[in-house]
Amino acid sequence: MKACRQTRRLLELQFAGELSWKQELQLTDHLSAGPECAAEAQAQGHVLETLGGYREAPLAKIDVERFVQKVQDRIANEPVGVSQAAPMESKSGSRSMVLAAAALLLVALTWAVRDRMGARDGGSPNQEELAGVPTEVDETAFQAERHRAAVDELRHALASLEGEEPDWELYSEGAQGLRDSDWPLTGLLSGLLGDPEERVARAAVLALGREGSTLAQRRLWSLRGDERLGASAIDALGAHGALTTEQNVEMYWDGTHRAAALQIMAHWHGADALAGARLLLQAAPDRRVPADHYHTLASVLGRANLEGQELALQWLQSPRLEQDAWAMHIAMHDLSGAFDGYLASGAGSRWEAGAMALAGHYPSEQWVSFLAERCARSRTADRAVQVLAKQPGLAALELLFEQESNRMVGEEVWLEAWTQANAAGGSRMVALAHQYRLAGTRSEREHLADVLLLGSQLGTGESLVELASARDLPERLRCSMVLHAGRVGDMRAGYGLETLFESMERKDSSLAACVLIALSQLHESDYVLDFLQQQGQVGEADCRTILTLCDPKSRRSERERRYLIARKLKPVLGKRNLSSLE
């Protein structure tokens, strides 16, 4: 209530045009906290605005010359007067001495009460008044003139801050003169914030930002809602690091300068980030963070210290947030400290989904056991296999390989995951095959062939053909590898296929058919025709027939086409053997 009485007093001063910049700050501060006073201030603002318009309203046009002439006409017969005690009463003409004495008494009485009642004298002032008024006016006028001169000087100095390249050196020279004369620069600059010329007001904002005093900062902060200068004021505060965490959070939630707030929040790290995130939560509208603002919190918390990261991980279980985006933000930062705690403490479907999202964005060998458990449950098997494909290390690849026989995992899902896992490179696959070899059930080459075959894609064709050349592998497996090499479209496999074909014997006709089918998938038909003719023992008609059978668009099945091609090739390969023997 005391503050409200003080505000009322300040409003009175504002109405009378006497509000100093310091009092203006007090008024602004109180108005932001008290709605009733704010309403009164708003109402008074309307009245003052209209009064301002009242003052500036155009007067009716009066012909000054005509007016002066009228006055001249009226005084034409009047002699210029000398000091008279009461000219208004002088019209009554001569008075008796008694009346004069009474008038004198009346004047004396009037003098005694004039301060309370106001003088009614329409005539000339007496000598005391004439002596008194100018002295007071002089002193006031002197101070006013001095103030005007200082403001003018400051306006000149501020001119050097206008434009895109503020000349701070020139401004400082001008401002220093005022400082030397003990002018409160912050006060003068505050006064210029209301300058009708926007360029002057903007320059004053810049200069206030540079002042750095608490008063200057508070004055700039009070401008944040100002349509004309709000953005400049916030920029000036931000440029000098003068915005507190609380102010940033306030700007973020009230939305007036959210971009500026975000820009500053991007520099929060460690404990600052944690404190900022907590403030963001406390100041959230209705204490509930809108869903589309969680990414801001995630980003801030991700840069926080260990405590902040743990808090971030706990929030993954919140049903109100979009887990994938949240996890992505968290995973961008180092979680090594908080990670184990999260895995150990978690339970429930929300935690499980959160962990899965986190594993997708934060690949680590630590996830394998978690994912192995999820692969064994029908509800989570598909998602676990997809996430498993992103994990590094041999254990993850092995687990993924084993899921081929997991009937809870969809065939398409597994193939896609396997392809994705192998895209990282072949060394893991070789290592895996070697591991199987050590288990002792199948040859290393067989296992490697299986792995390569399952992961056949662009880049593995050459390896497939190389393995298919090994005669100790079962023919069925060699055929599969050659056909896969053609399907994955690895052009480097072409040379290997041709070499393989040239080394074949009569008994390899089935594999040779596969080689030709694969070659026809890698090259144009003319190239394959030329290759066949170069072999020497194949007639042109047979060559064309074989080429027709190689076409996968043929109505015959692949198995049938392979059989027919092999029949055509068998005599050719046999003759080649004989000629080589000769």
Q: Which of residues 49-68 bind another protein (CB under 8 A)?
A: 50-51, 53-55, 57, 59-60, 62, 64, 67-68
Query: 304: helix, coil or strand?
Result: strand
Query: Phi and psi (nearest 5°) for 575?
Result: -60, -40
The yes or no reply on residue 109 touching another protein (CB under 8 A) is: no
CB of 148 to another protein, least distance (A): 11
**Chosen residue from 3, 33, 39, 100 binding another protein by CB under 8 A:** 39
Q: Of the two residues 139 and 551, which places its CB atom closer to another protein in the complex?
A: 139
**Chosen residue from 167, 226, 235, 542 binding another protein by CB under 8 A:** 167
Q: What region does 434 belong to: left with phi over 0, alpha with psi -120 to 50, or beta?
A: alpha
The yes or no reply on residue 2 touching another protein (CB under 8 A) is: no
The contact pattern for another protein, residues 126-145, with x = CB under 8 A and - = no contact, is: -x-xx--xx-xxx-x---x-
CB of 104 to another protein, least distance (A): 18
- Contacts with another protein by CB under 8 A: the residue count is 71
Q: How far apart (Å, rounded) are the C-alpha atoms in residues 273 and 298?
A: 10
CB of 145 to another protein, least distance (A): 10
Q: Of the two residues 76 and 344, which places its CB atom closer to another protein in the complex?
A: 76
Q: What is the DSSP letter of 507?
A: G
Q: Of the two residues 80 and 347, which places its CB atom closer to another protein in the complex?
A: 80
The yes or no reply on residue 75 touching another protein (CB under 8 A) is: yes
CB of 254 to another protein, least distance (A): 19
**Chosen residue from 2, 116, 407, 553 binding another protein by CB under 8 A:** 116
Q: Of the two residues 148 and 507, which places its CB atom closer to another protein in the complex?
A: 148
Run of H or E including 37: helix 35-56
**Chosen residue from 1, 2, 5, 72 binding another protein by CB under 8 A:** 72
CB of 383 to another protein, least distance (A): 54
Instruction: Decide if 37 contacts 28 (C-beta within 8 A).
Output: no
- The region of 25-33, 161-169, 351-359, 553-561 touching another protein under the rule CB under 8 A is 161-169
- Interface of this chain with another protein, residues 349 to 368, rule: CB under 8 A: none
- Interface of this chain with another protein, residues 169 to 228, rule: CB under 8 A: 169-170, 173
The yes or no reply on residue 43 touching another protein (CB under 8 A) is: yes
Query: Phi and psi (nearest 5°) for 169?
Result: -65, -45
- Interface of this chain with another protein, residues 7 to 26, rule: CB under 8 A: 12, 15-17
Give me the residues paired with residue 304 across strands.
270
CB of 89 to another protein, least distance (A): 12
Q: Of 265, 339, 273, 344, nearest to 302 (Cα)? A: 273
The yes or no reply on residue 82 touching another protein (CB under 8 A) is: yes
Alpha helices in 379-488, H assignment, sequence order: 381-388, 394-402, 411-422, 427-439, 444-454, 461-468, 475-488
**Chosen residue from 114, 146, 147, 199 binding another protein by CB under 8 A:** 114
**∠ Cα 455 456 462 (to 5°):** 130
HEC assignment per residue over 246-303: HHHHHHHHHCCCHHHHHHHHCCCCHHHHHHHHHHHHHCCHHHCCCHHHHHHHHHHHHC
- Interface of this chain with another protein, residues 420 to 439, rule: CB under 8 A: none
Q: How far apart (Å, rounded) are the C-alpha atoms in residues 548 and 537?
A: 18
Burial (CB count <10 Å: 0-12, 13-18, 19+), residue 409: buried
How many CB atoms are closer than 10 A to CB 107? 15
